[in-house]
Amino acid sequence: MKNKIILLSVALLSFLFQSGCSLSIESEPESNAEIIVDTVIDEPKVDYLSVGKDLAMQTKANLGKNLGMALSEKGAAGAVEFCNTRAIPITDSMSIVLNAKIKRVSDKPRNENNQANADELAYIQEWKNAKLKEEVLAPKVTEQNGKMIGYYPIETNAMCMQCHGEPTKQVNKETLSTISKLYPTDKALGYAEGEIRGIFVVEMDKK
Ligand code: HEC
């Protein structure tokens, strides 16, 4: 009997250790939307700039990975629908898993829910100016109402062009028509590679 109890607690402990306390998810994903996490934020002295950067980069990696899968399975027009239904939920679930509030905003949003506010617009403009002057883009962290808020630039690359590039030249007709159907107020076309497309905003509890 005693042995059984010990065995049970060992099993319970190892279950807790694997799934509860550590934030890493290693089990098989249920759908093809995978979430990978490898950060635990509980250091006593927190470097918010780099913690926030890590959270933003993990979110970016998950979005990028899922977008890549959608693109290869469905092509650009189909992947637009994927972004339409999954981009915000994936970002939100990263927020829950990583215990921070993470969002992507832009001065020229496709989804109007991703419109940058006045503070965020100012940061985006700073980064755009820095780019023009060919300066290094430094991420920022500020404190607001007892929260630490990190801002991290998002740049375009070649892959983005099929949905954010020059209409008809880079974004094909089928993709354009899906975009205009789903986003009648879309402002996110006409980008070139290496431009500031928006920012990640990461809101962290101050420890
Ligand atoms: C398959 C088409 C597609 C590709 C490729 C794509 N995007 Fe998007 N992007 C979208 C759609 C659709 C949305 C709106 C998502 C939503 O409704 O939340 C979006 C939204 C965004 C947003 C949030 C702000 C906004 O405009 O709503 C950012 C930032 C962004 N994309 C950056 C990028 C970057 C950077 C790349 C390349 C690395 C990229 N996207 C590649 C379709 C795409």
Taking only the tens place, the pLDDT of each residue in 28-50 is 444 566 666 666 555 567 899 99
- Confirm or reject: Cβ of 156 under 6 Å from ligand 1: yes
Per-residue pLDDT band for 8 (boundaries 50, 70, 90) equals very low
- 10 Å CB burial of residue 98 (0-12, 13-18, 19+) is buried
Q: Which of 9-23, 33-47, 98-112 has the highest mean pLDDT?
A: 98-112
What percentage of the chain carries pLDDT values higher than 90? 68
164 lines ligand 1 (CB under 6 A): yes
Distance CA 23, CA 38 (A): 7
| Choice from 59, 113, 114, 172 to test ligand 1 binding pocket (greatest atom count within 8 A of CB) | 114
Q: How far is CA 140 from the centre of its chain?
A: 17
**75 neighbors 163 (Cβ within 8 angstroms):** no
Q: Determine the Cα–Cα distance for residues 63 and 69; give it in Å rounded to an integer.
A: 10
Mutate to test the pocket of ligand 1, among 156, 163, 178, 185 (most ligand atoms within 8 A of CB): 163
Tokens of 201: 């905003």
- Going by CA atoms, what residue is nearest to atom 22 of ligand 1? 104
φ, ψ of residue 67 in degrees (nearest 5): -65, -45
Average pLDDT over residues 157-161: 96
Res 138 pLDDT > 60: yes
In this predicted structure, the answer to whether residue 145 has a pLDDT above a threshold of 70 is yes
Q: For the residues 51-67, what does the mean pLDDT come to?
A: 94
Per-residue confidence (pLDDT) for residue 114, from 0 to 100: 97
> With bands split at pLDDT 50, 70 and 90, how would you rate the model's confidence at 13?
very low
- Is the CB–ligand 1 distance for residue 50 below 6 Å? no
> Is residue 52 a contact partner of residue 148, using CB atoms and an 8 Å limit?
yes
The pLDDT of residue 98 is: 84
139 vs 37: CA distance, rounded Å: 21
**28-37, 58-67, 104-113: least confidently modelled range:** 28-37
pLDDT tens readout for residues 171-200: 999 999 999 999 999 999 999 999 999 999
Q: Give the integer Cα–Cα distance in Å for 165 and 172.
A: 10
- Identity of the amino acid at 107: D
Which CA distances in Å does 88 have to 62, 91, 102, 115, 177? Answer: 12, 5, 10, 13, 21
Share of the chain above pLDDT 70, in %: 79
